[in-house]
A and B are shown apart, each in its own frame.
Chain A
Amino acid sequence: MANIKVLVAKPGLDGHDRGAKVVARALRDAGFEVIYTGIRLTPEQIAEAALQDDVQVVALSLLSGAHNTLFPKVVELLKEKGLNDVLVIGGGVIPDADIPGLKAAGIAEVFTPGTPTSKIVECINANVK
């Protein structure tokens, strides 16, 4: 009985949580155990929550444009805490041009507006054992 645990979090100051909440519910309905952390979090808070709940996936959502700063910071802090095998994915208003940089920084996949939630489920199932 090893259910997949996913932390859905919004780093930074952006309060637009429609997407994050829809994703959290869709992941629950896909059979995952979802920890939704709410809005306005620091990368440190997110990484620590990931550690305490020992999640396999951290899903970040951000629409304010601060993703290039905040997403890599979360990855960095997860590594610092010894969480080396956590799948980090991100979504939001993210221009295509930023995606290679985010991937290089350890964000496994980036989902832009219009992505069906089923794609996120597929991505998690394909990447978490």
Chain B
Amino acid sequence: MEIVDKLLNHSRLALSKAITAVENEYDDAVKIMTEIYPHTGNAYVIGITGPPGAGKSTLTDKLAKEYRKRGKTVGIVAIDPTSPYSGGAILGDRIRMMDLMADEGIFVRSMATRGSLGGLSQKAGDAVKLMDAYGMDVIIIETVGVGQSEVDIVKTADTTMVVVIPGMGDDIQAIKAGILEIGDLFTINKADREGTDKLNIEIEMMLELNPEHVGWRPPINRTIASKGEGIEAVVDSIEAHKAYLIDSGKLNDIRKKRIKNEVEAMLNDRVNRYIDKEVIQTQEFDDLVVKMQSREIEPYSVVDDIVGKVLK
């Protein structure tokens, strides 16, 4: 495909249009992804998550600059929520990255959740692959919050960083459970604020209680991203984690698992869409529902019937 050839030849326009094709599920999206797949697997992927207001996009901006300083090219996929009321969205990350716009070694793409966080993780994953094929060394994927769906998105990363800030009160309790397992490193941003030491201790304690971290103890870094303070140490930690994953052979395992998860998700998605189209959205199914409601038939044998037909 022409667009793929151009993308592999470092056309930024082709990269952008390819991401649009994936995002909007254009007809040629699958073909694009099929053709670029052999060219992926080279980039190192970093996931950043944390509660709203933690300063993730400022931090992402600074990390990108630090990587540029270290000679790496950087792709960024930034995700913002779609308003449930209007279906519109404010994609706010770009604003902090406008001074990166003159840099050829950076490509930032904002994506709205569009009401389907589940499908989004695949789209975001595809956007990462496209940037990977384009030749970005490092790709940062940044999400909006700390819910399960965001966790799914950052799972596509090699290294996951959780950003928190002091003074969030009980909010930290609410997010503890979700973020504990996924954080390969923690960053306390806005660390000039009161409560930083306390938060640090809290995270330490959570990590103590978690038996999962064998061989790698997640470091806790402190940053003041708005002033650029502490950024180098964060990148050093990411690089240390990367070295650990390579040396221990875990990078291989993670990526194998990721492919498995991706294919599983794609299969589920395909099957769901098929069932939706061929079964749920049919008159026949509506009729069955009416019969179930009047208790003429019961749902268990209906499901058996349908599965028998669909998955023969």
With contacts A51-B12, A83-B13 taken as known, whether A38 is within 8 angstroms of B87 at the C-beta atoms is no
Q: Which of A1-52 contact B (CB under 8 A)?
A: 1-3, 5, 24-25, 27-38, 41, 44-45, 48-49, 51-52
The answer to whether the Cβ of A98 comes within 8 Å of any Cβ in the partner chain is no
CB distance from B18 to the nearest CB of A (A): 9
Number of residues on chain A facing chain B (CB within 8 A): 30
With contacts A35-B110, A82-B13, A83-B13 taken as known, whether A1 is within 8 angstroms of B24 at the C-beta atoms is yes
**Are B90 and A52 in touch, CB under 8 angstroms?**
no
A1 is contacted by which of B25, B88, B102, B109 (Cβ under 8 Å)? B25
Secondary structure class of chain B's binding surface, majority of residues: mixed
The answer to whether the Cβ of B10 comes within 8 Å of any Cβ in the partner chain is no
CB distance from A54 to the nearest CB of B (A): 4
The answer to whether the Cβ of B258 comes within 8 Å of any Cβ in the partner chain is no
With contacts A1-B114, A51-B13, A53-B109 taken as known, whether A33 is within 8 angstroms of B89 at the C-beta atoms is yes
A30 is contacted by which of B25, B82, B88 (Cβ under 8 Å)? B88
**Are A28 and B86 in touch, CB under 8 angstroms?**
yes
CB distance from B101 to the nearest CB of A (A): 4
Interface centre among B13, B25, B86, B101 (most CB of A within 10 A): B101
A interface list, Cβ under 8 A from B: 1-3, 5, 24-25, 27-38, 41, 44-45, 48-49, 51-54, 81-83
> Can you identify 27 A-B contacts, CB atoms within 8 angstroms?
A1-B25, A1-B114, A3-B24, A5-B91, A27-B88, A28-B86, A28-B88, A28-B90, A30-B88, A32-B88, A33-B82, A36-B94, A36-B95, A37-B94, A38-B98, A41-B98, A44-B101, A45-B98, A48-B101, A48-B102, A52-B12, A52-B101, A53-B16, A53-B94, A53-B108, A54-B20, A81-B13
